[in-house]
């Protein structure tokens, strides 16, 4: 058969090419079998991998710590930035107060300075509170004193601030034919200039009238007790209503006293004498008139020993008769 002959020819040629070393083929098989065990992948370097993993973990921890420190340094309420142009992101964070930041103390309401109180509570009558009297004084000064620049104040008036004053009397006022409508009178004084005072008439919560100036106690003819020269509006009604006053009628009386005077009394109508309050160089009296009168109040002054040192009946500067 030609097939078997061909195989024998190939074997002969192989032997002719490699000589008599016919065992070469078997030797190659043995060597290949041995390399199957000796030529294999090297084992994985686990110690090196573990060291590299630990190093990478430490590196990541350092990067994370630095990032947290950077976040802590960003002010609370900072806006997140989105996009390369630095614009604010659509979900901009709402600023929140830091829990560690100290709270600002609550603002204390500032109360505007006002006038000083009278020496006694009996100088505020007819249910008028000090707050109401102070508010009435402020309204009068605002209307007649501080508005001179706009032409609405009294000509040449410079009444200053309410803090410059001391309220010495507050009583109800009775309207008459010359000034209809009831209200209240507030009398306040200033230390400078000496003897300066204002008589403010308040009606319906508004300053409706004001009389200001010195009481005239520095006159050469003034005695140790001196009745205010314009204080008549406090104890009389308009001469238009003479003989027809509205009764009962709340009256008030003010004036100045020298330091030597220890007591002042005021009598008006058929009522008992009223002992006046002495308040920083002023005397202040008030009462109720229940009948029509024609004579002005009668004033007397006494020193510390009780000696009479002043009597308005003997004072030539005092108008004893009502208009």
CB–CB of 164/198 below 8 Å? no
Contacts 24+ apart (CB under 8 A), 127-136: 128/170, 128/171, 128/172, 128/184, 130/167, 130/170, 132/170, 132/184, 133/167, 133/170, 133/184, 133/186, 134/162, 134/167, 136/170, 136/184, 136/186, 136/200, 136/202, 136/207
pTM recorded for the entire structure: 0.64
Instruction: Produce one character per residue of 155-190: b if its CB has 16 or more CB atoms within 10 Å, e if not.
Output: eebebeebebbbbbbbbebbebeebeeebbbbbbbb
| 117-138 tens-digit pLDDT | 999 999 999 999 999 999 999 9
Share of the chain above pLDDT 70, in %: 61
Report the candidate in 287, 261, 283, 262 with the shortest Cα–Cα distance to residue 272.
Answer: 287
The model's confidence at residue 25, banded by pLDDT at 50, 70 and 90, is low
Q: Structure tokens of 321?
A: 């008769």
Share of the chain above pLDDT 90, in %: 53
Q: Region 47-62: what's the mean pLDDT? A: 57
Residue 57's pLDDT is 59
CA within 13 Å, CB half, 256? 22
| 228-272 tens-digit pLDDT | 999 999 999 999 999 999 999 999 999 999 999 999 999 999 889
Q: Is the pLDDT of residue 152 over 60?
A: no
Q: Is the pLDDT of residue 63 over 90?
A: no
In the chain, what is the straight-line distance between the N-terminal and C-terminal CA atoms, in Å?
Answer: 176
Q: Measure the CA dihedral 21/24/26/30, to 10°.
A: 140
3-state secondary structure of 82: strand
């Amino acid at each position: 058969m030609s097939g078997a002959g061909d195989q024998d020819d190939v074997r002969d040629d192989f032997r002719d090419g490699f000589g008599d070393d016919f065992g070469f083929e078997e030797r190659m098989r043995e060597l290949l079998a041995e390399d199957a065990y000796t030529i294999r992948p090297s084992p994985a370097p686990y110690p090196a991998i573990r060291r590299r993993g630990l190093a990478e973990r430490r590196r990541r921890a350092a990067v994370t710590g630095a990032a947290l420190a950077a976040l802590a340094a960003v002010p609370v309420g900072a806006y997140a930035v989105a996009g390369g142009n630095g614009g604010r992101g659509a979900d901009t964070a709402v600023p929140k107060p830091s829990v560690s930041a100290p709270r600002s103390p609550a603002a204390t309401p500032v109360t505007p300075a006002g006038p000083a109180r009278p020496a006694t509570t009996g100088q505020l009558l007819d249910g008028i509170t000090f707050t109401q009297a102070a508010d009435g004084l402020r309204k009068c000064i605002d209307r007649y004193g501080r508005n001179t620049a706009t032409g609405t104040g009294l000509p040449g008036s410079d009444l200053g601030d309410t803090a410059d004053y001391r309220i010495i009397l507050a009583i109800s006022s009775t309207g008459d034919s010359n000034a209809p409508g009831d209200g209240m009178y507030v009398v306040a004084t200033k230390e400078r200039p000496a003897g300066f005072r204002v008589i403010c008439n308040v009606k319906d919560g508004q300053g409706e009238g004001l009389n200001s100036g010195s009481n005239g106690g520095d006159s050469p003819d003034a005695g140790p007790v001196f009745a205010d020269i314009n204080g008549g509006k406090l104890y009389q009604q308009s001469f238009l209503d003479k003989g027809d006053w509205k009764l009962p009628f709340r009256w008030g009386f003010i004036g100045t006293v020298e330091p030597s005077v220890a007591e002042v009394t005021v009598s008006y109508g058929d009522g008992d004498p009223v002992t006046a309050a002495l308040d920083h160089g002023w005397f202040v009296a008030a009462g109720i008139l229940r009948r029509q009168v024609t004579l002005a109040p009668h004033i007397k002054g006494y020193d510390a020993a009780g000696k009479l040192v002043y009597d308005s009946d003997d004072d030539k500067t005092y108008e004893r008769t009502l208009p």
